[in-house]
Amino acid sequence: MSTTIPTEETQNPMLATTLALFDTAFERLELDEGIAEIMRQTELEMTVTVPIATDDGRIVTFRGYRVQHSSARGPSKGGIRYHPDVNIEEVRALAMLMTLKCAAVNLPFGGAKGGISVDPSQLSMHELERLTRRFAKMIAPILGGKRDIPAPDMNTNEQTMAWLMDELSSHRGYFSPEITTGKPVILGGSKGRTEATGRGVAIATVEMLHKLGMSPEGAKVVVQGYGNVGFYAANILHDEYGAQIIAISDVTGGLYNANGLDLPEINAHVKRARVLESYNGDAEHITNAELLELPCDVLAPCAIENQITEHNADKIRARVIVEGANGPTTFEADQILQERGITVVPDILANAGGVIVSYFEWVQDLQFYFWEVEEVREKLSRRMRSSFAHAYEAAQERELDMRSAVYLLAVDRVAQAIQKRGFVTL
């Protein structure tokens, strides 16, 4: 177990962006320097080497991480991702974003994140299960329903959470569904969790369009990333709000039709073929870079981090950007977008729907009493709308952009918790 201090010299753009945004919020709040220093660091970091036996009998090892940034406002909460690029700095940045996200929508959680540096497409189902169980065993000492609660993230899903929950329950000797969220409904998962992040992105989009005097009906929307977040965001905006989805993409490239894509047909194709590149319906094939620069009302980056940078920010032709992914915009790009008058609904607000329903799942697990999907959707919608309204008011009052306003609110809540708890007694 090691604790290391993140520094400004980081090479990781997402960590650099997060720390820079933290610093701006600290200055605006005129926050005590010591409290700011606590928030610039992570509480606990664990790096593990995870060995597994492959199906053909070899032993291979992977590097895994769990970082808890803050537990000031409650148990730390955050996803686990499987991706070859996972590294300690990325996990730190994502843990910090989780602290801020939970505070931004006023959940009683702190922030954490975890991951394994692995390409899961190269592993069989059995190998993935062995990897997840071994990782769970190694990080078990710092997890727990009242301590640190994982959830799915990139390339992990409800099956991953089921293995993790089973492993940790075995460790404790009794069924403990509150240890993870994003589980299958049959194991104490919440109805409405799978769609929750995308639904939250859709709600944030509609709220922002209304504030700008625009209607979601017929709005031209571009979605980068057609995975969990992007799929539900696009389909809910299309089906429930009448938006026109003019472009979507996945890692293999994008599809574009200025008059609106045929989503039901594309969804049927994706179900069969898994990827967009082999779709040969009524759409032009474009690259992810081209997709980001399409003229549209709303651009929703829902794939990975660092997509809008100083190299393409001046070419973005969207009226509004709604960040479904974590950290899709770099600090430099954010300044350019602000100068160009492009409104950004920041990640820690726009994609908070997932952690909001994770919170509902945790509450249901602790009570062993489960809600219908309508109740989950209604509560999610209420929480997203009130959080949006609060952030929007703060932005108007202080004449700030939405990101700065949300950071201010979130940092203030965490700082108050640190102070009131007396982390540092003089």
**Beta carbon of residue 277, minimum distance to ligand NAD (angstroms, whole number):** 10
User: Position of tokens 């160009």?
Assistant: 340
Determine the Cα–Cα distance for residues 190 and 361; give it in Å rounded to an integer: 5
In this complex, which beta carbon is closest to ligand NAD, that of residue 26 or of residue 301?
Answer: 301
Q: Is 387 in the site for ligand NAD (CB under 6 A)?
A: no
Q: Is the Cβ of residue 11 or residue 121 nearer to ligand NAD in the bound state?
A: 121
User: Which of the stretches 70-78, 170-178, 202-210, 299-307 binds ligand NAD when contact is defined by CB under 6 A?
Assistant: 299-307
3-state secondary structure of 153: coil
Q: Binding residue for ligand NAD (CB under 6 A) from 183, 343, 354, 402?
A: 354
Phi, psi of 164 (to 5 degrees): -60, -45
| Rounded CA separation 31/229 (Å) | 35
In the 8-state DSSP scheme, what is residue 66? E
Q: Phi first, then psi: give them for residue 172, nearest 5 degrees.
A: -85, -25
Q: Which of residues 215-274 bind ligand NAD (CB under 6 A)?
A: 224-230, 249-251
State yes or no: residue 197 binds ligand NAD (CB under 6 A). yes
Assigned token pair, 360: 């509902």
Catalytic residue status for 379 = no
CB-wise, 139 or 304, nearer to ligand NAD? Answer: 304
Spell out a b/e string for 32-61, using b for 16 or more CB atoms within 10 Å of the CB, else e. Answer: eeebbebbbbbbbbbebebebeeeeeeeee
Shortest CB 221 distance to ligand NAD, Å: 16
Q: Which is nearer to ligand NAD, 304 or 411 (CB)?
A: 304
Cβ 354 to ligand NAD, closest distance in Å? 3
Q: Which residue stretch of 38-46, 114-122, 152-160, 312-320 sits at the interface with ligand NAD (rule: CB under 6 A)?
A: 152-160
Q: How far is the CB of 217 from ligand NAD (least distance, A)?
A: 25
Which entry of 77, 101, 113, 191 is annotated as an active-site residue? Answer: 113
Task: Kindly calculate the radius of gyration of the chain based on its CA atoms and give it in whole angstroms.
Answer: 21
Distances 210 to 121, 215, 216, 301, 314 between C-alpha atoms, Å: 41, 6, 8, 20, 25
Write out the E strands in 220-265. 220-224, 244-250, 253-256
Closer to ligand NAD by Cβ: residue 68 or 288: 288
x-or-dash string of contact with ligand NAD, 278-297, rule CB under 6 A: ----------x---------
Structure tokens at 79: 């996803």
Indicate which residues carry an active-site annotation: 113
Interface ranges with ligand NAD (CB under 6 A): 153-155, 197, 224-230, 249-251, 288, 302-304, 324-326, 351, 354
